[in-house]
Amino acid sequence: MRNRYDNIFWGILLILAAGLTLAQQQGYVGQFTPQFWMLAFGGLALVFFIRYLIAGLRFWGWLFPVCVFLALTGMLWLGHSGYQEAWIAAPFFGAIAIPFLVGFAIDFRKNWWALIPALACFLFGVVIIFGDRLPGEVIGAGFMFAIAIPFLTIYFINHKYSWALIPGFIMAAVGTLTLLGSFLNQLAGGLVPLVISLPFFYVFFKYPNCWWALIPAGVLASIGVNTLLTNPFLGRFAQSTIPTGIMFLGWAATFGWLWRQREKSPTAWAHIPATVCMILACLLLVVGSLTSYGFTFALIAGGLLLVYFGLRPRKSLPPQ
């Protein structure tokens, strides 16, 4: 019955719109003024709001046309009043966010996802308001935070949604690095993959069943270390094959760790990429060690390994 009345409502609305358009085409009605559109949009917002009240509070989808038409009315009023700045578009994002917030408030356990577009739209509106007063780095970081905060909020509301931590942390990290870009120009290329790897490491160690998270974590962290070690500041060492060898060594350690989890996770296959990466790492490290810096690095690595094995606690032998 409700769908039937909705069809009648939409049908009448379309017929009225068609009649008004035809009257204008025939010259019975002049050009529509901003005041006309303000009254039309305001009237439509009122009609949809009444329809929302009739449907019930839990049918919050009806609030979208209500809020959008109200926002269009306000934007037309601002434009007609002489405001031409970009910030007059901000109410439109707020209008889209309000129904999502209502849906989240009505049943946050079922409609948890609504918080993501709601907060994103609100923060987009804030960025637009202050867009012409802030540097480009701040605007770019603001967009990253606008995407990150909803995901992080979802995770902290319910840790069951651990997946939300990954995009949230990545966007927040990229936004932070964007803000610090002028200070970290030479290091940004290495810091970005390192920072992105952190949420994957967290998910892997926090949730043992998410073994897959170690792959992007280890791969990205190794790429970040390689990028930092190839910085021109390091001179000849950066131009050797040792940084690439260290990257493959990190990849070998990643898949080797996964292979060790084969008894409780389906990772028996991981010994293949681990072996291949280890062979490539050894070859690159040996080639790199032929240089003076590489030989020094090899001596330091060997010394650290000897110290580690010397300090490592040994298992006590059983009595004879």
Residues of the chain with pLDDT under 70: 1-10, 20, 24-32, 84-86, 131-137, 181-190, 288-303, 305-306, 308-320
How far CA 142 is from CA of 87, 92, 247, 307, in Å, comes to: 15, 18, 33, 47
pLDDT (tens digit, 9 = 90+) per residue, 194-239?
A: 878 888 888 888 877 888 889 988 998 898 888 888 877 777 777 7
Q: Say if residues 117 and 100 touch (Cβ distance below 8 Å).
A: yes
Q: What gap in Å lies between CA 32 and CA 27, rounded to an integer? A: 12
User: Which residues fall within 8 angstroms of residue 311, CB to CB, at 6 or more apart?
Assistant: none
Of residues 187, 88, 92, the one with CA closest to residue 129: 88
Angle, helix 63-80 to helix 34-55, in steps of 10 degrees: 160
Q: Locate tokens 């292979």: which residue?
A: 259
Q: Locate tokens 């970040």: which residue?
A: 224
Of residues 207, 197, 206, 137, the one with CA closest to residue 173: 197
Q: Say if residues 289 and 242 touch (Cβ distance below 8 Å).
A: yes
pLDDT (tens digit, 9 = 90+) per residue, 209-219?
A: 888 889 988 99
| pTM tops 0.95, yes or no | no
- Domain range summary for the chain, segments of one domain joined by +: 198-300
Q: What gap in Å lies between CA 198 and CA 23, rounded to an integer? A: 63
Give the type of residue at 272: I
Look at residue 317 in the predicted model and tell me its pLDDT.
Answer: 47
